[in-house]
Amino acid sequence: MFRLFVTLLFLGAALTIPAQSGRFFPRNLQRAYDKATRSADGKPGPNYWQNRASYLIKAGIEPKKRRLSGEAVITYVNNSPDSLKIIRLKLAHDLYKKGGQRASEVEPSDVDDGVQIEILTYNGLPVEEKQRRRRNTFLDIQLGSNPLPSKTSATITVKWSYTLPADKGAARECVCDASTFFVPYWYPQVAVYDDVRGWADAPYNGLQEFYNDFADYDVTITMPKGYMLWATGEWQNPGDILNKTYLDRFNLAHTSIEVIKIFTEAELKAGGVFKKAKQHVFRYKATDVPDFAFASSDHYNWDAASVVVDDRSGRRTFVSAAYDSKSNDFYRVARIAADGIRLMSTWLPGYPFPYPCMTVFNGNDGMEYPMMVNDASVGESGVTSLTVHEVSHTYFPFMMGVNEQDYAWMDEGWASFFDFLLADSLTGNKSNLRGYSFIAGTDSDVPPMARSRFLSGGAYGNAAYGRPQNAYLTLLDLLGYDMFHRCMTEYMDRWKGKHPIPNDFFNTWNEVSGQNLDWFWKPWFYEWGAPDLGIQQVERDEKAGYDVIFVKKNGAIPVPVHLEISYADGSKETIRQKADVWREGQEFVRVACAAGKTVKQVDLGYRTIPDTERKNNTWKKD
């Protein structure tokens, strides 16, 4: 009996105590482990839950007025163990509301009264003004004495409208010209209620991006005649809108490896692409996605192809590029995106692309949405890395519903890691890193574990992109591809369609790798510091008959040792040691050179290894 008690006590501890050694763990997150929604080995706990919704939306745009209007029926399911006293809606366009909190300035002419709510009901009853609490970009429906019980659902109906910003540089969205629109953050969306903090409360300010629950969408959007519309999900009614020639091309592109021009700007202007109608009504459906975006134009070109993303099943993804004829790089984007998706599915991250389609739209930004990307034209030098960066976000934060409002490195860092290696593979060129060495060790080099919602400017960019990109490259070198890939795919299998937090990531990789990697996680993600190695000295070991190079770790962040050695006899040697040479906190590494040779020169460093001070990276024999 005593033995059984001890066993049960041990198993309970495994669920409630986050597995770590020396990593700071916020005490307010402990409740998730206490309630067994998360477990110490990095897996979802036996009591894990998350809420979800389904959206039935009808909307449309009046192009000349830039006016969007819509109505939605939202079914919200409360899978939590709690009775919810409020239902929180996100109204992202209230970013432009007078007095709104914004990370950067907007055009004064775009500041307005925000989202106009014309009808709002909850379970069939009107939501009175006294039941509404509207602040920043949230609208809380206060349920008072009638909370939403656990394991039940509610129906919300809402009718709304707002004016799209005219500024072509508007954050995330784009009125690209008088008849071209990219439209994100456009509908009232239920905020996340999770097991970690309850209702998400970071308002949208134009900088921090996603944290959304997974949902199903059935969306109908009406546009004037002559407009094509691309959106999240699969197009349900192409036969109602496209004439036969173009419908045949559309269908062919779903099985074609080669890029098919579904239609060109000239064909649109000639008037034969669409069936005659006063307006076009497009219907798109998507399941288990965290958001929905769309784009429309009456003069954009449309290229498409398809690519096998799962060799076992033969499943394919339909890949599109919609673009202005004036773009100097988008004519290659469908090909880049298709080839990139194939590499993502088979190499990095090495996990089948999860969605049936992807459209890269020629807008004003570099911004991702489920199955949609808003990319500006950036020219030949940047088009490949930008395309694969944004498309790779399909994995993080869309397949893996990370909270990038708090931990942007959990998706932007991965996308930066992917774009660096994928672009190298696709182009055969050597891409540039994010320049972490230039900011490392400054007071803008904030540890990534600082919540992203509290950061801005260079500190936000480095914590979200630069430092984690370099950390993941170091991790790949440390573990090797096979182990790295095993950890990555297990992490994805555990948390796809869910909401992992940093501890889930760290603990999963520790368990799957069979190593306690906290010596690595702690300096890279939790602490102030910098990567800085230097050559301390080169000495002759007369007894052993070879020279010895002493490499000193001047900075706190562990990185690999890469040495290019030139000998007096004209020969050369490369010696590389992984970052775990610093695992035990060593100050020096002793590197033995080839026996019987004399070192003439040593160069320390490599293009993928950050180093804040390179003046001490070369040694020459006097």
Are 285 and 217 within 8 A, CB to CB?
yes
Assign 561 a pLDDT band (cuts: 50, 70, 90): very high
Q: Does domain 533-620 have CATH number 2.60.40?
A: yes
Q: How far apart are CA 217 and CA 193, in angstroms?
A: 19
Closest CA to 187 of 71, 63, 102, 65: 71
Are 56 and 156 within 8 A, CB to CB?
no
Q: What is the CA radius of gyration of the chain?
A: 27
- The SS3 of residue 231 is strand
Q: How far apart are CA 102 and CA 176, in angstroms?
A: 22
Level-2 CATH architecture, domain 50-208? Sandwich (2.60)
Shared fold status for 50-208 and 533-620: yes
Q: What is the pLDDT of residues 229-239, one digit of tens each?
A: 999 999 999 99
Using the predicted structure, report yes or no on whether residue 126 has a pLDDT greater than 60.
yes
pLDDT score recorded for residue 22: 78
Q: Side by side, which strands form the sheet with 189-190?
A: 132-135, 138-142, 86-90, 189-190
- How large is the average pLDDT for residues 565-588? 97
Pairing between β-strand 357-362 and β-strand 372-375 as defined by DSSP bridges: parallel
- DSSP labels for 77-142? EE-SSS-BSEEEEE-GGGGGBTT---SS---GGG-BS--EEEEEEETTEE--GGGEEEETTEEEEE
Q: Identify the H or E element spanning 62.
A: strand 52-62
Q: How far apart are CA 604 and CA 415, in angstroms?
A: 28
Q: What is the pLDDT of residues 262-289, one digit of tens each?
A: 999 999 999 999 999 999 999 999 999 9
Q: What is the pLDDT of residues 24-41, one digit of tens each?
A: 989 999 999 999 999 999
Using the predicted structure, report yes or no on whether residue 535 has a pLDDT greater than 70.
yes
Assign 430 a pLDDT band (cuts: 50, 70, 90): confident
Assign 151 a pLDDT band (cuts: 50, 70, 90): very high
User: Left (φ > 0), alpha (ψ -120 to 50) or beta: where does 329 sit?
Assistant: alpha
In order of 154, 291, 534, 555, 585, the CA distances from 219 in angstroms are: 20, 12, 58, 53, 56
Q: How far apart are CA 345 and CA 359, in angstroms?
A: 17
**Residues with Cβ < 8 Å from 456, sequence gap 6 or more?**
103, 207
Q: How far apart are CA 442 and CA 293, in angstroms?
A: 38
Is the four-CA dihedral 223, 228, 232, 236 of positive or negative sign?
A: positive
Closest CA to 208 of 469, 408, 412: 408
Q: How far apart are CA 400 and CA 475, in angstroms?
A: 20
Q: How far apart are CA 184 and CA 369, in angstroms?
A: 8
Assign 10 a pLDDT band (cuts: 50, 70, 90): very low
Q: What is the pLDDT of residues 450-490, one digit of tens each?
A: 999 999 999 999 999 999 999 999 999 999 999 999 999 99
- The SS3 of residue 621 is coil
Measured at the alpha carbon of residue 476, what is the angle toward residues 471 and 477, in degrees to the nearest 5?
Answer: 95
Separation of first and last alpha carbons in the chain: 75
- How large is the average pLDDT for residues 540-550? 95
Are 499 and 192 within 8 A, CB to CB?
yes
Boundaries of every domain in the chain: 50-208, 533-620
